[in-house]
Structure 1
Amino acid sequence: MTSERITSLPKQSMSRVASFDLARGLAVLFMMLVHVMDFYGQPGIGETAFGKIIKFLGSPPAAPIFTFIMGIFIASSSRQSLASGLARAAWLLALGYMLNLARGSLPMWLSLQMGLVTYEQLGGYTPLTELLIVDILQFAGLALAICVLLKHYFPDPRYWIVAGLAVVCLSPALWDISSGWMVPDAALQLLWGSKEQGAMFPLFPWLAFPLFGMAFGHWFGQSGCHTRFFRKTLWAGLVLMTAGTSLILFDMDFHYGYYLRSGPGGVIWITGFVMVWLWLCRLIVGKAGSNRCLALLFFWSQNVTVIYVLQWLVIGWGLMLVGAQQLDLTNTMLAMAVVVLLSDLASRVWLRLRGHHHPAQAIESGSQTTADPKLTAR
């Protein structure tokens, strides 16, 4: 979830890569849609054809894309010092808990006090559980700290690959280890907690994605021809998806227990999917050219932390108006459109108040990215 500026790389100058911005912009959209469905839509909507499509779009093409591209940006950033990277990591971790309070605990508590929802409607969630949820910002803070340390002390990308494979293989052995004490277990939840414990994105196995993304970003920067590099990315992704599928079919429960805490086969499959998805985004950018839809997605990508926080505030406080999981299919679709619109408008207002101008559009040619020093990610 970090948004460091992409600066010069060893073989060429790079500003923004349109393929990455498109992938992350789409991930922002899919993220908003699945959050609205999960929080506003009636439980049965997820089992409809529409709901299953939204669930898929809100899974491999969403958070794994964020975390993989986070790794790419970490590897690509040459101006970030170790101290600034660790400071950014601490800020993301703190921001995650501040967001939990603002988007979940406060509106939920007020809704309960005003009789707008009941504990039965909340399905076991409480203001305290909302505060302690381990979401993607908490994960991003921890992962960023680990990645910048690895980049600083072990700059060879082969170490990053080995570390990622170690995370993939060791994760199942670590899951559900607990001390039996409340405070230590709250910390362990950040590392390998389950969804039932409130850990949406535990460090194990999610750390594998930014680690693999770092290696990808390093080799991408070293490539002389991005077209050839993306072609290799496609084939590598297909190989990984095939290998992951074979492992999942061999032992479904172990290798793909569930999306938020996948075993080795699931992580390998998702990594392959991410690489194929990036190739597809490269293809779309090359065919579509400049248009308003792409410009909107680029804007969301370049301001991803802002829109992520604001869409959660819109959704969290919107529960006071519509209730939890109360809307039918038609009204859920309408709520999706409203949340996307309000989140976009709120982001633009916030950036304007902060004195930020809209960043220029990402530029990408057939073989390399055109340099533009003004292009930054906020």
Structure 2
Amino acid sequence: MSTIKSSRILAIDFGRGFSVIAMIMVHTLWIHARQDVQSDTFLGHFIHFVGRGTPVFLITMGVSFMISRNQDVKSAVKRGIMILGVAYLMNFLKFLVPIIVGLMPDSFIEAYGWELPLDFEKYVYLLLTGDILQLAGISLLVLAFIRAYAKNKFILLGLAILIAFISPELRGIQSGMYGLHYITQLLWSDGYWVYFPMFPWISFILLGMFFGKWYIENEYNQKALFRRMFIVGVIFIVVGAPLVFMNETYHFNDFFHLGPGGVIYLAGWNFTVLSIFHWILSKTKNNFLYKIFYYCSKHVTSLYVIQWVLICWGMVIFGFQSKSELGTILLMPIFMMLTFVIHFSVVKIRSISRSDKPIPKERLAS
């Protein structure tokens, strides 16, 4: 018996929405908590553990990208370019604006080993800082063609594993030329100018695409999708955990520059988490919390930008890495609430402005 195609995979939406909430907590910790709070408290350890769910965002991106009704290369490339534009606009808003107007705390500048006033190169450095949106944009430019020409799902799986294994070796290949150096950083960063280099992080998107392709081939059977995802997740954990344990420096590194074992291990955990999300959603009724996660999933890019800008502008009031454990905990719901209020207000204003537009004459005549 064939399975009816579902317009949405709720567990994918739920997981993507969860990643948005998790990112707000992680970013609040990074920017506002004291160093000792980040490294030596239960809160710091817990939030960093939650941050290990970052691959959920990329895996769900891969699944959605593969099952999207619009499979056109041109539209995917356009979206990639648009996301890159948004990414650099976000950097301008969260870093450059408060510095230019003279409100950024000196402690933030000093954390880079700099002092005010900044020269042009330092402004460029901040503007070009690589975040997960840069990763998403660049990846879409590449994946648009991979999706179009890689018809076998195991090609996607093979590419993901291959990239995970070669990424640590590529990090040593850096150009001394200014512009080319930045490109190599975006591709396989060896430092913190680019936090999420395409190698190895695109592996998670490719793994999501692998499952998306499998889902399509299995006639959109969600139960089968997450059963297989759980099995693969367990296998990946069993394979990845020993690699990380034997050589954590190489395989897990600093989290941002993962080795193959770290990619496999984290992918395994995130596969199992998504499978658990599917099981929970299948056993429970829709509720307000679920609706929040679905809302986050639908507006993931704009919410991501708003929360980062708010958290960085929050340094003007709350300082940089100055809060205690309790102070950090109190800031998290504040930034969450402000993010949602601002986003909802913008959506509402857009809706009102669109409704006020005059009806075209040709529609009136019809």
TM-score by length of 1: 0.86
Change (3 A) 1:134 1:120: closer
Tell me by how many angstroms 1:165 deviates: 1.7
- Write the distance in 2 (CA, Å) between the matches of 1:251 and 1:339: 37
More helix by percentage: 2
Tell me by how many angstroms 1:278 deviates: 0.6
Number of residue-to-residue matches in the alignment: 342
Asked if 2 retains the 8 angstrom alpha-carbon contact of 1:193 and 1:202, the reply is yes
Asked if 2 retains the 8 angstrom alpha-carbon contact of 1:255 and 1:263, the reply is yes
| Pick aligned residue for 2:88 from 91, 97, 106 | 97
Please give the secondary structure, in 2, of the residue aligned with 1:227.
helix
The equivalent residue for 1:301 is 297
The equivalent residue for 1:44 is 36
Residues 279-311 of structure 1, C-alpha deviation per residue, up to 9 Å, x if partnerless? 111122123311111111111111111111111
- Write the distance in 1 (CA, Å) between the matches of 2:349 and 2:197: 34
Matching residue's letter, 1:41:
A
Are 1:55 and 2:48 an aligned pair? Answer: yes
The equivalent residue for 1:360 is none
Tell me by how many angstroms 1:187 deviates: 1.4
- Write the distance in 1 (CA, Å) between the matches of 2:4 and 2:141: 27
Residues 118-165 of structure 1, C-alpha deviation per residue, up to 9 Å, x if partnerless? 466534376443212110111001111111111112222222112112
Change (3 A) 1:114 1:163: closer
| Pick aligned residue for 2:217 from 222, 227, 230 | 222
List aligned pairs for 1:263-274, cutoff 5 A. Answer: 263-274=259-270
Are 1:287 and 2:283 an aligned pair? Answer: yes
The equivalent residue for 2:203 is 208
Q: Calculate the aligned-residue CA RMSD, in Å.
A: 1.9
Residues 304-334 of structure 1, C-alpha deviation per residue, up to 9 Å, x if partnerless? 1111111112112111111111111111111
Matching residue's letter, 1:117:
D
| Pick aligned residue for 1:182 from 178, 184, 202 | 178
Instruction: Point out where structure 1 has 5 or more consecutive residues left out of the alignment.
Output: 1-9, 357-378
Asked if 2 retains the 8 angstrom alpha-carbon contact of 1:194 and 1:200, the reply is no
Please give the secondary structure, in 2, of the residue aligned with 1:207.
helix
The equivalent residue for 2:66 is 75
Tell me by how many angstroms 1:181 deviates: 2.1
- Write the distance in 2 (CA, Å) between the matches of 1:168 and 1:179: 21
Change (3 A) 1:305 1:119: closer
The equivalent residue for 1:165 is 161
List aligned pairs for 1:245-264, cutoff 5 A. Answer: 245-264=241-260
The equivalent residue for 2:324 is 328
Instruction: Point out where structure 2 has 5 or more consecutive residues left out of the alignment.
Output: 115-121, 353-366
Matching residue's letter, 1:34:
V
Tell me by how many angstroms 1:269 deviates: 0.6
